[in-house]
Amino acid sequence: MSEQPGPRPSIPYWHLWRDAEGISHQRQCSLTDFDLKGVGDAAPQWNNRHPRSEATVVVTVQPVGWVGEWHENPAPQWIVVLSGRWFVESMDGTRVEQGPGEFSFGEDQGCAEHEGRKGHRSGTVGDEPAVLMTLQLHVDPVLSPCHMA
């Protein structure tokens, strides 16, 4: 291993959030709060620790052509694409597509209905199922984009 760990990482993710008027939006954010620290006897690595909370892990397989019409995330949750591709469209019209290794934070609970939309819609893209792993956090949503640094 190199003696130099390199610069502090900055890892992009998309944040689906709602504003005070109940409209969902998406913003690209970055995880930046990394500390260089070893785990046990392992060499130092960059770690971005989040507050401890209860969580539920759910793996979903969305069939080819699947569309989840307007709905909210069941809880604030990290969503990691394991394989395939999917899209997320927020109430403001922003549409984001993601593939394997990309991830987002869904936090659109409590949206108001606006022009037949509430929360977000999502679905598969392409000719293979989208396999997603979600880490649902049992915490209250925060009305602010990019607060997960």
User: Given this model, what pLDDT does residue 108 score?
Assistant: 98
Type of residue numbered 52: R
Residue-wise pLDDT tens digits, 35-90: 999 888 999 999 999 888 899 999 999 999 999 999 999 999 999 999 999 999 99
**pLDDT band at 3, cuts 50/70/90?**
low
* Separation of alpha carbons 119 and 18, rounded Å: 8
**pLDDT band at 98, cuts 50/70/90?**
very high
- CB-based contacts of 93-102 (< 8 A; 24+ apart in sequence): 94/25, 94/26, 96/14, 96/26, 97/125, 98/14, 102/13
Quickly name the fold that domain 11-137 has: Jelly Rolls (2.60.120)
